[in-house]
Amino acid sequence: MGRIRNHWERYWIHYVLLAPLAASLIAAAACRRMPADGRSTLPAAVPVAAPAGSVPPAGTVKLSGSPEEIGAGHGRLLGPEIRTMVDGYVRGSAAWGDERLRADLLEKTRRMKETLPGWYVRELKACAGAAGVDEDELLYAQCEGDIRQLCTAYAAFGAGTHDGEMEIGRNFDYFGFAGMERCATVTAVTPERGDGHAFVVVGWAGILGGWTYYNEEGLFVANNLGGPPGGYATNAEGIPTLILERIIAQKAGTTGEAVEMLKTLPRMRNQTLLLAQCAKGGRGAEAVVVEYDAKRVAVKKPEGGLAFDTSIGSDERLIRRILKDAGRRPEEAIKSAGNMLTLHSVVVRPGEGAMWVAQGRQAHTGDYRKYDLGELLGR
């Protein structure tokens, strides 16, 4: 497995990171910080009591306030886990075994900060300082999220489910790294009023967001390895996926706004996003699969009440059958797509205001913990 992982990393590091990061400029004009008109009443960083069942290894936390407060709270509460993530995910990668490649990547990463959104850089700096890690290495970790995972995601509603209510499922599949289990997090982030939407994200300590988001407007965002057919165009001034997802989750209030952001913002490379939303009260469900690279954005509408994408070969027909079963448990459909690489598995039922999360290696074989989204997203 170690040889396979290093071969995979070396191929994508040369194809994805070195070319697109050559200029390392990320447009910030479209995502500049809006003036605040108030502050969250939540403390800047607080641990959250876990729901019934086992607790995510790194805990469940709420972060709120200014970018500096959110970043410092993240680093202070999860410092040991962030250091483990940097050691395993960044320093343990193939790139870090090559001194010249490592130096080149870090130099390009430093230049990237010059044009990242100001609020993002401030949060990154505060998080790195509080956690005691190198700021450039922490930013590099945010750039790798679109090259290593093979995932499955769906949003079903109307004819796609037994009762017509929306259900969203997502598996994050990746080889992992030593100590990864200690880094798994469920994090609720509440920016200052006027600075964007509150959101909950399933990811790792030290990743300023993650791979699986749900915000207070009912917008779900998750990425898969992929893109439009034949779409391999890259852009040195494009935004890496994890940073792009974070911008969308915090700044977009609808799937339409999210799609427009994807069309407008510079994109680093090919990728696929599942965007889904069910308005408060369980009405107005919609979902799309967006395939893009640096030059093209293609939007695919649901078929038969299901928006579906997989980069690991999950059985869509099986998932459709399970979703029509009135007697099933919430996690059964996404659980069927689990495999030896599944590191987190998530189900969201917007109409119930609930999210179920399983984390760890072969996460789908463990317990799914239920979360109250209203509690996590409340200001």
pLDDT per residue as tens digits for the range 138-186: 999 998 755 556 799 999 999 999 999 999 999 999 888 888 889 999 9
Residue 14 DSSP label? I
Domain range enclosing 160? 2-30+39-377
pLDDT tens for 324-336 read 999 999 999 999 9
DSSP β-bridge partners for residue 62: 46, 188
The tally of domains found in the chain comes to 1
Tokens of 235: 């852009």
Of 15-29, 60-74, 110-124, 167-181, the range with the lowest mean pLDDT is 15-29
pTM, two decimals, is 0.86
pLDDT at residue 9 greater than cutoff 50: no
Q: Residue 2 pLDDT more than 70?
A: no
Tell me which residue has tokens 């019934």. 52
Percent of the chain topping pLDDT 70: 82
What contacts 44, CB < 8 A, 6 or more positions away? Answer: 63, 64, 65, 69, 70, 72, 73
Enclosing H/E stretch for 289: strand 283-292
The whole-angstrom separation of Cα 231 and Cα 122 is 33
Look at 242 and 5; give whichever has higher pLDDT.
Answer: 242
Q: What is the mean pLDDT of residues 60-65?
A: 94
pLDDT grade for 33, boundaries at 50, 70 and 90: very low
Task: Say which residue the tokens 């994805």 belong to.
Answer: 16
Q: Is the pLDDT of residue 79 over 90?
A: yes
Between CA 232 and CA 275 the distance in angstroms is: 21
| Cross-strand pairs, 213 | 201, 221
Over range 77-90, report the average pLDDT: 94
Mean pLDDT of the 224-232 span: 83
Direct distance between the N- and C-terminal alpha carbons of the chain, in angstroms, rounded to an integer = 44
pLDDT value at residue 268 = 84
**120 phi, psi to nearest 5 deg:** -70, -45
pLDDT > 90: what percent of the chain?
65
DSSP 96-151: GGSHHHHHHHHHHHHHHGGGS-HHHHHHHHHHHHHHT--HHHHHHHHHSTTTS---
Lowest mean pLDDT among 24-38, 143-157, 198-212, 227-241: 24-38
Reported as a single tens digit per residue, the pLDDT across 135-146 is 999 999 998 755
The candidate with the shortest Cα–Cα distance to 329, out of 289, 356, 294, 292, is 356
Cβ-contact 270, 292 below 8 angstroms: yes
**Tokens representing residue 41 in the block:** 């009443």
pLDDT score for 287: 97
At a CB cut-off of 8 Å and minimum separation 6, what does 30 contact?
Answer: 261, 264, 265
Return the CATH number at 116. Answer: 3.60.60.10
Task: Please report the pLDDT score of residue 57 as a whole number.
Answer: 54
Q: What pLDDT shows up at residue 54?
A: 40
- Per-residue pLDDT band at 379 (split at 50, 70, 90): confident
Between CA 242 and CA 248, with CA 246 as vertex, the angle to 5 degrees is: 115
Give dist(CA 287, CA 302) in Å, integer: 7
